[in-house]
Amino acid sequence: MQPVFVESHNIVSPLGTGSSENFSQLKKGISRVQLHTKIDIDDFPFWASLIEKEQLKTISSEISNTGDYTRFELLLMASIKDALKSSSVDSTNDKTIFIFSTTKGNISLLEQQPASAKLHERINLHHSAKLITDYFNNYNKPIVISNACISGSFAILFAKRLLESSNYENAIVTGGDTISKFVFSGFKSFQTLSPGRCKPFSSDRDGINLGEAAATIILTTKQISNGVRVSGGAVSNDANHISGPSRTGKELSSAINNAIEMAKISSTDIDFISAHGTATLFNDEMEAKAFNLSHLQDAPVNGLKGYFGHTLGAAGLVESVISILSMKEGVIIPTIGFSESGIFPSINVCRNKIEKEIKHCLKTSSGFGGCNAALVFSKS
């Protein structure tokens, strides 16, 4: 099978509207998870990372013919457009496929419009995907991946498989989510929201923060010297509980082991792990068990939710882009909010910035319904 390379990428988040800008903010230790008072989302102040009106206005101004695009769609379009600027990939080519990842899409429209056939069509995820691919003059049928919080990572793996099968030469993988009252109330009902900034893997962790973002990774089968490859990937399912993860970590470990085997390396070759790290009691414990089962307890681990919040369908893509930049610059971002380890068995959580050569990185994701994903990125 032919190798699949990362050709370009982008992140649009409250930290900035480009990958480099976002990475620069992380290296400075800057977070956009902060206290918000927005009664259209919740009656009480809450901690989250949200795209503000001025940033959205700037984003909208860069997209022509914005009349019928939603906030969710505009973020995706801006991310794709920026990624294409530094790419040689032709978005109009019939050998280029668009793959979308999201958990909620335009679900916020249910709060804003009366029920109708038009609304039913508008909240259909594939409708948004078609609008966006039409904007970029690509007439292949787009693919939508909506598998809870592994959607972004799964979309990268799905693209890898398509390109390896020679069905396409390039894949524009994009994902995003926005926060509405509907989305917020769901997580609030689970009592999983932190009353402050989240603290992944820390002994005083008390829940997640939600975040808004869009991210894009353009993959290609074109050989890129000194580039980064998607060298391995796998998914698994706990079959444990609709919202609670496995208590053993065996299923995530299985995905990790399969991804490492596909990459033709061993666990000792993994230079760092970008974890899902939601800062909930059960997720962080499960990941720690999985890393130990896969003999990765000594590899440096970071969790980025304290900077971006949990960006749902964008999380796997956002955190993969940061991992790719970490590999290129030899810098591992510390886990903001982490103070004292609160997980068993122990893992090597980064509390300070680490500078080292990185040849192989593991990215993990987990989500409702027991889904797990693992990706390995390698320097070519």
Provide the CATH number for the domain around residue 248.
3.40.47.10
122 Cβ contact partners less than 8 Å away, ≥ 6 residues apart: 70, 106, 109, 113
> Closest by alpha carbon to 142, among 150, 132, 154?
132
Question: What pLDDT was estimated at residue 188?
Answer: 95
Asked if omega into 345 is within 30° of 0 (cis), the reply is: yes
- In this structure, the answer to whether residues 81 and 216 fall within a common structural domain is yes
Q: Give the structural domain span for 339.
A: 228-379
Nearest to 145 by CA among 376, 378, 367: 367
pLDDT of residue 380: 84
Using one digit for the tens of pLDDT, what is the confidence trace for 188-222?
Answer: 999 999 999 999 999 999 999 999 999 999 999 99
Check whether residue 320 and residue 187 sit in a common domain. Answer: no
Domain match, 147 and 197 both: yes
The span from the CA of 188 to the CA of 192, in Å, is 6
- Domain tally for the chain? 2
Distance of CA 374 to the CA centre of its chain: 12
Q: Which of 154, 187, 220 is the C-terminal boundary of a domain?
A: 220
Six-digit token pair at 24?
């620069």
Residues 208 and 234 in one domain: no
pLDDT of residue 230: 98
80 and 157 belong to one structural domain? yes
How confident is the model at residue 93, as a pLDDT? 97
- CA dihedral sign, ordered 151, 153, 158, 159: positive
Are 243 and 213 within one domain?
no
Phi, psi dihedral angles at 33 (to 5 degrees): -80, 115
Residues 352-374: b if buried by 16+ CB within 10 A, e if exposed? eebeeebebbbbbbbbbbbbbbb
Q: Provide the CB-side half-sphere exposure for 94 (13 A, CA).
A: 0
Identify whether residues 129 and 271 lie together within a single domain: no
Domain boundary among 191, 220, 249: 220
- How is residue 13 written in tokens? 């988040």
In 139-274, at which residue ranges do the beta strands (DSSP E only) sit?
A: 143-145, 170-177, 210-211, 213-220, 228-237, 272-274
Does residue 151 share a domain with residue 66? yes
Q: How does pLDDT run along the chain (380 residues), one tens digit per residue?
A: 899 999 999 999 999 999 999 999 999 999 999 999 999 999 999 999 999 999 999 998 888 766 689 999 999 999 999 999 999 999 999 999 999 999 999 999 999 899 999 999 999 999 999 999 999 999 999 999 999 999 999 999 999 999 999 989 999 999 999 999 999 999 999 999 999 999 999 999 999 999 999 999 999 999 998 899 999 999 999 988 888 899 999 999 999 999 999 999 999 999 999 999 999 999 999 999 999 999 999 999 999 999 999 999 999 999 999 999 999 999 999 999 999 999 999 999 999 999 999 999 999 999 999 999 999 999 98
Six token digits for residue 168: 């396409």
232-267: burial string, b at 16+ Cβ within 10 Å, e else: bbbbbbbeeeeeebbeebebbbbbbbbbbebbebeb
Count CA within 13 A, CB hemisphere, residue 334.
14
pTM of whole model > 0.95? yes
Contact predicate 78/62, CB 8 Å: yes
**Closest-CA residue to 292 (of 366, 344, 354, 342):** 344
Residues 207 and 338 in one domain: no
End position of a domain, from candidates 220, 236, 261: 220
Q: Answer yes or no: do 215 and 249 share one domain.
A: no
Nearest to 153 by CA among 168, 175, 131: 175
pLDDT, residue 66, reads 64
* 170 close to 219: Cβ distance less than 8 angstroms: yes
Same domain membership, residue 288 and residue 206: no
The tokens describing 40, both together, are 């259209």
Whether 213 and 281 map to the same domain: the answer is no
